[in-house]
Chains A and B, each alone.
Chain A
């Protein structure tokens, strides 16, 4: 059955559904120089789904497992920092909350909030006008 392996959240536990990010899960075994990538891909709607985290090699001792969330750049993406979480001697817990730190602006004034909403309004209206060109009023 498909489970939510990773929830890409902010520090308050809110799922960052619209975020554009990639993820990577690595296992590092005792005595080995580098960690082995066992899972990777795009974060979709703030989550990573799958049956379970891959089973570690039973013939080796797991030193740690690591989950890396890499937030893509771009002005349209949510402004959160990438993060790496390490779990010594064990796999990441199912449904892991990543708690990405926020890097953007916390709006404090009504004017600031209204300004941001108005900017987005203008952008969306321009996009609509390209698809639905203005007509002369009869």
Chain B
């Protein structure tokens, strides 16, 4: 199927009020998305920039907005791909910083994944949500559950303004381990505030 352009998809000018059968709503009372907005909200189109620790990361604005108790928020997606290698007991990967014009940021969704090799175990690769207990591998290419720490850290650097949020991947295990991390998290900020990402 050919990709429709925005006008073809919406089919009419959103500034014109129309009613549909069996509905008393007019367009001005609906949220109308363009095709581009809908697709970006669904798949999170993100350009990932290369960083200083071999990671690639970036943010993108999503189509969804939220009204929480009368306060409106825009939503954004953070993505990062990083290898926690060579094997060690502890890793800290700096992803980058998210700076907002004003207000706190709230992470409302986390779909981050950890991939490891299990060639000498049950075969293939393991994929688990990034968390304590996720499968991580070692130099023998065998995956085992992480028994230490595995999380994404959002940190306010003491000397910087509160609106500067540094993001890290943190991993630790009693024995050496390695894995690949695919960060995919959504966050919300006050509507119309500026949001700037700086790769670490």
Same complex: yes
A residues sitting closer than 8 Å to B (CB atoms) are 10, 12-18, 75-79, 102, 104-107, 110, 113-114, 116-118, 120-121, 124-125, 128-129, 131-135, 137-138
Partner of A14 from the list B89, B140, B162 (CB cut-off 8 Å) is B162
Further 9 A-B residue pairs, CB within 8 A, beyond A116-B166, A132-B148: A75-B158, A102-B161, A104-B160, A114-B200, A120-B166, A121-B168, A125-B90, A128-B89, A135-B89
- Contact A78–B172 (Cβ < 8 Å): no
Question: When each residue 83-110 of chain B gets 1 if its CB lies under 8 Å from chain A and 0 otherwise, what string results?
Answer: 0001111111110110001111000000
B139 within 8 A of A: yes
Residues 170-200 of B contacting A (Cβ, < 8 Å): 170, 172-176, 198-200
Is the Cβ of A18 less than 8 Å from the Cβ of B156?
Answer: yes
Closest to A102 in B: B161
Q: Which of B91, B149, B157, B162 contacts A120 (CB 8 A)?
A: B157
Chain B interface SS verdict (over half): strand
Whether B176 pairs with A137 at a CB distance below 8 angstroms is: yes
- Complex: A13 Cα to B86 Cα, angstroms: 43
* Number of residues of chain B lying within 8 A (CB) of chain A: 42
B159 and A105 within 8 A (CB):
yes
7 contacting pairs across A/B (C-beta < 8 A): A110-B198, A114-B200, A120-B94, A121-B168, A125-B92, A129-B90, A131-B172
Partner of A77, one of B90, B158, B163: B158
B10 within 8 A of A: no
Which residues of B approach A to under 8 Å, CB–CB? Answer: 52, 86-94, 96-97, 101-104, 139-140, 148-149, 153, 155-164, 166, 168, 170, 172-176, 198-200
Docked complex Cα distance between A18 and B161 (Å)? 12
Q: Name which residue of chain A comes closest to B198, CB basis.
A: A113
- The answer on a CB contact under 8 Å between B163 and A14 is yes
> Bound complex: CA of A137 vs CA of B138, how far in Å?
10
> Contact between B158 and A79 (Cβ–Cβ < 8 Å)?
yes
Please pick, from A76, A107, A110, A138, the residue contacting B160 in the complex, using a CB distance under 8 A: A107
A29, B91: Cα distance in complex, Å: 58
In the bound complex, CA of A77 to CA of B158 (Å): 6
Known: A117-B200, A131-B172. A124 touches B92 (CB 8 A): yes
A134-B88 contact in complex given A113-B198, A120-B166, C-beta closer than 8 Å = yes
* Cα of A34 to Cα of B101 in the assembled complex, Å: 41
Known: A124-B170, A137-B86. A15 touches B104 (CB 8 A): yes
A128 to B52 alpha-carbon distance, docked (Å): 21
Task: Known contacts A125-B90, A135-B176; decide if A120 and B155 are in contact (CB<8 Å).
Answer: yes
